[in-house]
A and B are shown apart, each in its own frame.
Chain A
Amino acid sequence: MNLFFIAWQNIRHRPTSVLLSLILFALGIGLVSFLLQTDRQVQQKFENNLAGVDLVVGAKGSPLQLILSNMYHIDAPTGNISLKSARPFLRPGHPLIELAVPLSLGDSYKGFRIVGSTHDILTLYNVTEIPDRLWETDFEVSLGRAVAEKLNLKEGDRFQSSHGFTDDFHSHDKELLVVSILPPTSTVLDQLILTTPGTYWHMHSDHEENVVPSEDTSDHQTAHENRGSNGHQHDHKEAHETEGHEHTHSKSKHSSESAKISAHNDASNENSAEQDLISSKAQPPTQASVSYLLSQSDKSDITAMLLRFKGRNFQALNLGRNINENTDLQAASPAIEINRLFSLLDSATAAIKALAWAIVFVSAISIFLALYNKLRTRKFELAYMRVKGASRKQVFFLITIEGLMIAFIGILIGFGLSYIGLFALSSNLESNYNYSLSTLQLTQTELWVALAGLGIGFLASLIPSIQASRTNISLILNEGNRNS
């Protein structure tokens, strides 16, 4: 027998009298906790995926959209850019750019986006344990860990991608071959299917004639010699043969000229550049390399480039503005755009958070009223306790404990609600964007929310507690006698 037991019995005895307070309290705390959790987790997600990218360059449109589609893979791309306009940034040796990663977007498989890129994308997302085999030639893919797990795909599996980001669109005929599964990175890379930029050109050449890469034997020879890879050329040729492309001579002539030049230009830089990027592995150049990409036709499309600067100097910072003002490309800084997005979200979450605390406050008043009103019906039992030797302090603590217990239960239910909310949101995000949130993270913030909740519970019970401890038992006993 102790005060906690009596307080608990008191709450259990008349649950209806505290039910409303409890529901309100739980709702308020739940909402606060939910907002803090999502806020933190979403920011974490966004920050994890910044991946040291200083600038995203793509087609004109909304800068936020450019960032969301190319860095977070949650919006439609702004459009494509020609390789010609991208070339200056991709070419190794740019004075400001340390790393330039081309991206081709537009296709997906079962909701997971297929990204045509070079192996440099692994450097960007800090993949340290690079599998022995990566996507090397067109139609080969390496899967992000989440893709492999969700779709239960393994090396050697084949699948048909579909055009667009949902499965509603038609499928492409040509199958993609899984050559490896990437290690988990806790970044958006886990949700991506990586392939060569060339894969996109093949897929879409049915519809868009002008994106076909250069096809000239001599050109191939040149590029090939520079790289010193035999099997590679074969693959490439085969791929084209199976596709059965027909190119008008005049078209390919022009592009092959420029491709030749660029291939030559890049040959010298290539070795050092490649080794920088994936230094641990000495592997032959592939169709997933920048140099190969640069050897392709000017009219080939990519969607965007992720740029990492050598240093954040004045010139580097001006690069974005220069691009926006002087080219038909658009450059956007992820940090700036994400900050803008957060500041938009912040005012919204701040408003809801204020509402949540208002609910907590109202519930505190409700706890206060519940305890205060109960005093009138409880005066005889307070008198009983005092008659049996309870001090004023004990009576005070009994009421306080009841208030704190209501608050505590409210906090537990609130965290439970928050957990359910996170779970629902996470499932929703997962089915729509393949992003997921982790379940309730109990961090210091949650501890503070819990403590704040208990503090509010204490304040709410303060006046009833004082009132109870001041109970004049003699008056109550007189009243009891008169009533009978």
Chain B
Amino acid sequence: MLASSSLTYSYAGGPLLSFPDISVEPDSCLLILGESGSGKTTLLQIIAGMLPPKSGEISVAGKSLYTLSNAERDQFRGRQMGLVFQKSLFIESLTVIQNLQAAAFFAGKTLSRSEGEHLLERLNINDKADSLPQRLSVGEQQRAGIAAALVNEPQIILADEPTSALDDIHAEAVYNLLTEEANRLQAALVVVTHDQRLKDKIQQTLSL
């Protein structure tokens, strides 16, 4: 599902970062552990098709990511990848369900209201469907963010520090949610974090 070989990247004036090769199968999970500055977010962005690597090859679902045109790669990301961030992103002026519909729209799909409500129901924030995202609690925002990542039924879920800001109970809940959903979609799950609490839960671990 996801495979990379000899990826490198360097920020302007920074040292050359080289990343170990990655390979993730569908319905499996990879934990990428690393401290701040280790380049784990950089790796995630390269995988997500948002940051062209200096060298190396990455393919997702059989597609070599950086041979696609920019617009094609944007579409590919929208359709095949679900991204979850520590701090969820939203369009402020749209309600939660409208944000889900926008996520579908930008991936070239449509999402009916009932489909959106169904998804929110599964994440247990159905009652917030018509709220603006900034009125939600941090935990609710996180779940709404996950919902937005799942809208297009991606083949790969990329999560950047999804649990770092949460207490043990919420961290556990979010982790469970991610694995359940990845399992339901038969998607590959890649979690990038410095959160050691997840270390015991995920077998396949890569340290940077």
Contacts and interface: CB of A to CB of B under 8 A. Distances in A.
Partners in one complex: yes
Contacts of A394: 106
Given A1-B101, A381-B89, A392-B71, 17 more contacts: A1-B98, A1-B102, A2-B105, A9-B98, A10-B91, A14-B93, A384-B91, A384-B148, A389-B76, A389-B77, A389-B78, A389-B79, A390-B74, A391-B75, A477-B50, A477-B160, A481-B160
A389 B91 contact: no
B90 A477 contact: no
Contacts of A380: 89-90
Contacts of A13: 92-93
Nearest to A390: B106
Contacts of B17: none
A484 interface: yes
Top 9 A-B pairs ranked by shortest CB distance? A389-B78, A13-B93, A384-B89, A389-B107, A390-B106, A9-B93, A1-B105, A1-B101, A388-B106
Interface in B75-103: 75-79, 83, 85-87, 89-94, 98-99, 101-103
Contacts of B205: none
7 contacts: A6-B93, A386-B74, A389-B77, A474-B50, A477-B50, A481-B86, A484-B165
Contacts of B165: 484
B106 A477 contact: no
A32 interface: no
A259 B70 CA distance: 99
B126 interface: no
A383 interface: yes
Interface string B134-160: 000000000000001000100000001
A384 B98 CA distance: 13
Contact of B94 (A9, A387, A389, A390): A9
A284 to B, nearest CB: 81
Contacts of A484: 86-87, 164-165
- Best-buried of B41, B92, B108, B160 by chain A (most CB within 10 Å): B92
Contacts of A386: 50, 74
B86 to A, nearest CB: 5
Interface string A1-28: 1100010011011100000000000000
Nearest to B83: A387
Nearest to A473: B50
B110 interface: yes
B167 to A, nearest CB: 15
Interface residues of B, number: 41
A387 B111 CA distance: 17
B161 interface: yes
Interface string A382-425: 01111111111110000000000000000000000000000000
Interface in A456-484: 473-474, 477-478, 480-481, 483-484
B89 A383 contact: yes
B45 interface: yes
B104 interface: yes
A477 B76 CA distance: 19
Interface of B: 41, 45, 48, 50-51, 70-71, 74-79, 83, 85-87, 89-94, 98-99, 101-108, 110-111, 148, 152, 160-161, 164-165
A480 B88 CA distance: 9
Interface of A: 1-2, 6, 9-10, 12-14, 378, 380-381, 383-394, 473-474, 477-478, 480-481, 483-484
B105 to A, nearest CB: 4
Classify the secondary structure of A's interface with B: helix
Contacts of B93: 6, 9-10, 12-14
Contacts of A12: 93
B45 A474 contact: yes
Contacts of A14: 93
A385 B102 contact: yes
B34 to A, nearest CB: 13
Contact of B110 (A1, A388, A473, A480): A1
- Best-buried of A10, A386, A477, A478 by chain B (most CB within 10 Å): A477
B207 to A, nearest CB: 19
Nearest to B161: A481
Nearest to B102: A1
Nearest to A394: B106
Contact of A478 (B41, B71, B101): B41
- Best-buried of A1, A12, A388, A390 by chain B (most CB within 10 Å): A388
Contacts of B105: 1-2
Given A389-B79, A389-B107, A481-B85, A384 B74 contact: no
B41 A389 contact: no
A388 B78 contact: yes
B50 A480 contact: no
A387 B77 contact: yes
A477 B85 contact: yes
A39 to B, nearest CB: 41
Contacts of A9: 91, 93-94, 98
A390 B77 CA distance: 9
A391 B74 contact: yes
Given A1-B104, A385-B106, A480 B85 contact: yes
B110 A392 contact: no
A351 B152 CA distance: 58
A389 B102 contact: no
Contacts of A390: 74, 78, 106
A377 to B, nearest CB: 8
Contacts of A10: 91, 93
